[in-house]
Amino acid sequence: MAQIKGPAIFLAQFMGDEEPFNSLESITAWAKSLGYVGVQIPSWDPRCIDLKKAAESKDYCDELKSRTNGLAITELASHLQGQLVAVHPAYDELFDVFAAPEVRGDPNARTEWAVEQLKLVVRASANLGLSVSPSFTGALLWPFLYPWPQRPAGLVEEGFKELAARWKPILDFAREHGVSLAYELHPGEDVYDGATFERFLEATGNHPSVAINYDPSHFVLQCLDYVRFIDAYAPYIKAFHVKDAEYRPNEKAGVYGGYLGWKERPGRFRSLGDGQVDFKQVFTRLTAAGYHSWAVLEWECCYKDAAQGAAEGAPFIKSHLIDVPKKAFDDFAGAGTDTARNRRILGLE
């Protein structure tokens, strides 16, 4: 076992047009002052990275790393580009904003743009010495989540077949560059829980570049056992978003309370320590499973200000990192190996 690395912070929710949030240099200085030692960079944000340059030039990547005030770049996140690999027509207009202006209004061109963007992320990750990019799968089936009206036979299978076909060239490219795509299992994506992850994995032919970005907050809102999930899917967990959530059903709403505002929903994201995630168990099971990559704060909360959430996040994560033991706690009472003695104890001599 090895210790999980951290604390790190995902910059996407904090980037802005004012200091210190408007450039990589200033926001990493801010993050460092709070106690973070790593940053996850949103690959779509030009205030953080010129993705095309990073994909083409290791020199640029070296220069990029020199601008982070000594903080490690943990991963390049590619959620927005991944979302656009597969978009049901019902969401065309809503998701167009994620794409470059020149491909908006043209779903086919937008998909091609997203695929090329993800290949840039893969090349840039390799140039930065990174082996994982957290992402989304996109969705063709999400409007049909609830089986009413009754889904036609074969609809789900066809949806996952097409989703895998769109991702397979990207995954092959990622494999060539030693990079995994760690999908965040997230509502709004066709891959949102363990069962759908297994469907997608099977549809890709168990592609070795398919991985998971573990985020327990999304599982709390689904009433899924997020601790046992770690034991079930540990080999695939290659990235970790530390995000809290709570689910408090009431007489008016339950798991389908999504038309309500975030403050009124039974299920909502919270700042670290304010929700219901048992992070002691999460960090314990991840450590036991051999996860030794980064613990990255993803801050989302409808009650607490971002600055407070970020300030509280670094010490929270640090307090949950586990120094793995160098020896067993009961070594003092141990005895050396002696086969003959063991056989005598078992009554075999």
Predicted pLDDT of residue 310: 98
Q: Are 102 and 152 in contact (CB under 8 A)?
A: no
Predicted pLDDT of residue 333: 67
Q: How many CB atoms lie within 10 A of CB 187?
A: 14
Helix (H) or strand (E) holding 218: helix 216-220
Distance CA 15, CA 294 (A): 20
Q: How big is the chain, counted in residues?
A: 349
Name every residue whose Cβ is closer than 8 Å to that of residue 134 and which is 6 or more positions away in sequence: 40, 75, 77, 78, 79, 182, 183, 184, 213, 239, 241
Predicted pLDDT of residue 109: 98
The three-point CA angle 212-213-217 to 5° equals: 120
Q: How many CB atoms lie within 10 A of CB 84?
A: 23
Distance CA 244, CA 274 (A): 7
* Composition of the chain by helix, strand, coil, percent to 5: 45, 15, 40
Distance CA 88, CA 299 (A): 28
Long-range CB contact pairs, 224-227, < 8 A, 24+: 224/193, 224/194, 226/277, 226/282, 227/278, 227/281, 227/282, 227/285
Predicted pLDDT of residue 336: 77
Predicted pLDDT of residue 169: 98
One digit per residue, the tens of pLDDT, for the chain of length 349 reads 689 999 999 999 999 999 999 999 999 999 999 999 999 999 999 999 999 999 999 999 999 999 999 999 999 999 999 999 999 999 999 999 999 999 999 999 999 999 999 999 999 999 999 999 999 999 999 999 999 999 999 999 999 999 999 999 999 999 999 999 999 999 999 999 999 999 999 999 999 999 999 999 999 999 999 999 999 999 999 999 999 999 999 999 999 988 999 999 999 999 999 999 999 999 999 999 999 999 999 999 999 999 999 999 999 999 999 998 877 766 666 777 889 999 999 999 7
Global pTM value: 0.95
- Find out whether the peptide bond into 20 is cis, omega within 30 degrees of 0: yes
Q: Which domains does the chain have, with CATH numbers?
A: 5-345 (3.20.20.150)
Q: Are 84 and 99 in contact (CB under 8 A)?
A: yes
Q: Between the CA of residue 83 and those of 92, 138, 184, 191, 334, what are the distances in Å?
A: 11, 4, 11, 11, 54
Predicted pLDDT of residue 131: 98
Phi and psi angles of residue 38, each rounded to the nearest 5 degrees, phi first = -150, 155
